[in-house]
Amino acid sequence: MPIVQPGKRPARRFAKSRVFGGKMGHGRKSVNAELNVVPMVDMMTMLVIFLLQQFSATGEVLYMQKDIKLPDAAHGQAIEVAPVIAVNGDSVVVTGQKVADVRDLEADQILSIQPLEERLRDEKKRWDFIHQNDPDREKNWKGDVNIQADVKVPFRILKRVMFSAAQAGYYNINFAALEVSGSAPQPERAPVPAAK
């Protein structure tokens, strides 16, 4: 509420009245504007809480697709941002764009997947364009690719995906897996008798 000079003031309902408002305000318009800041503070608080909940220090590297069940892993590393190849029971997808059907891949005998190679080469060209002014561009290129494969995908399909990625220049292949929260207890070994 603004700080005002003390004195007689009409009630709010009389402030706009021609009869009573003019007598109390001496015919002058009030320069005090009331601003209700409570809704604005509430909205800002909600925005801050929402943004804090959505914040990720590492960033989102993989988008978990609902039709892919990742394998479990006891030991692993955090993966870095790289092109993502998602392989489920129906299709092969690179960064959200479908490049091949798994049924078609099982039918033919060629080892490389041409649409996959072309899409990965396009990603490499995009990376080169972004880093064209970098003097150490060749040193900074790691050739990383992340494969997100369903546990039921046959290895022969994964082998073709890995071969195609290597043909496109992506030699560092990382597989996405879910980290097991607790490691399984190690079996106890029987003591080995000492040699005489």
Residue 23, helix vs strand vs coil: helix
* Residue 47 pLDDT grade (very low, low, confident, very high; cuts 50, 70, 90): very high
Distance CA 144, CA 160 (A): 17
Q: What is the pTM of this model?
A: 0.58
pLDDT exceeds cutoff 70 at 165: yes
Same domain, 127 and 49: no
- Rounded to 5°, the CA angle 55-57-62 comes to 85
Same domain, 21 and 101: no
Evaluate whether residue 118 is within a structural domain.
Answer: yes
pLDDT exceeds cutoff 70 at 57: no
Same domain, 42 and 119: no
pLDDT digits over 145-157, tens only? Answer: 888 888 888 888 8
Please count the CA atoms within 13 angstroms of the CA of 182 that sit on its side-chain side. 3
Distance CA 108, CA 168 (A): 20
Same domain, 153 and 87: yes
What tokens appear for 117 in the block? Answer: 């190679």
pLDDT exceeds cutoff 60 at 174: yes
Evaluate whether residue 67 is within a structural domain.
Answer: no
User: How many CB atoms lie under 10 A from the CB of residue 21?
Assistant: 17
Same domain, 136 and 98: yes
Same domain, 30 and 77: no
pLDDT exceeds cutoff 70 at 23: no
pLDDT exceeds cutoff 90 at 45: yes
* Top-confidence residue, 139 or 122: 122
Distance CA 179, CA 73 (A): 5
Same domain, 77 and 168: yes
Evaluate whether residue 60 is within a structural domain.
Answer: no
Radius of gyration of the chain (CA): 33
Evaluate whether residue 61 is within a structural domain.
Answer: no
* Residue 192 pLDDT grade (very low, low, confident, very high; cuts 50, 70, 90): very low
What tokens appear for 17 in the block? Answer: 């009245």
| pLDDT, average across residues 67-82 | 76
| pLDDT, average across residues 14-43 | 69
Query: How does DSSP assign 4-64, residue by residue?
Result: ---S----HHHHT-TTHHHHHHTTPPP-------HHHHHHHHHHHHHHHHH--SS------
| pLDDT, average across residues 2-24 | 66
Look at the chain and report how many structural domains it folds into: 2
Query: Mean of the per-residue pLDDT values for the chain?
Result: 76
Q: Which of 25-29, 68-72, 138-142 has the lowest mean pLDDT?
A: 25-29
Same domain, 44 and 78: no
Evaluate whether residue 158 is within a structural domain.
Answer: yes
**Closest C-alpha among 145, 172, 123 to residue 61:** 145
Same domain, 80 and 174: yes
**Closest C-alpha among 13, 78, 62, 3 to residue 34:** 3
Instruction: Identify residue 178 by its one-letter amino acid code.
Output: L
Q: Tell whether the torsion through CA atoms of 142, 131, 54 and 98 is positive or negative.
A: negative
At residue 106, φ and ψ (nearest 5 deg) are: -70, -25
pLDDT exceeds cutoff 90 at 44: yes
Containing domain of residue 10, as a range? Answer: 1-55
pLDDT exceeds cutoff 50 at 191: no
Evaluate whether residue 66 is within a structural domain.
Answer: no
pLDDT exceeds cutoff 80 at 169: yes
Secondary structure letter of residue 124 according to DSSP = H
- Domain end marker among 29, 55, 81: 55
Evaluate whether residue 187 is within a structural domain.
Answer: no
* Residue 187 pLDDT grade (very low, low, confident, very high; cuts 50, 70, 90): very low
Same domain, 90 and 149: yes
Same domain, 22 and 90: no
Same domain, 84 and 40: no
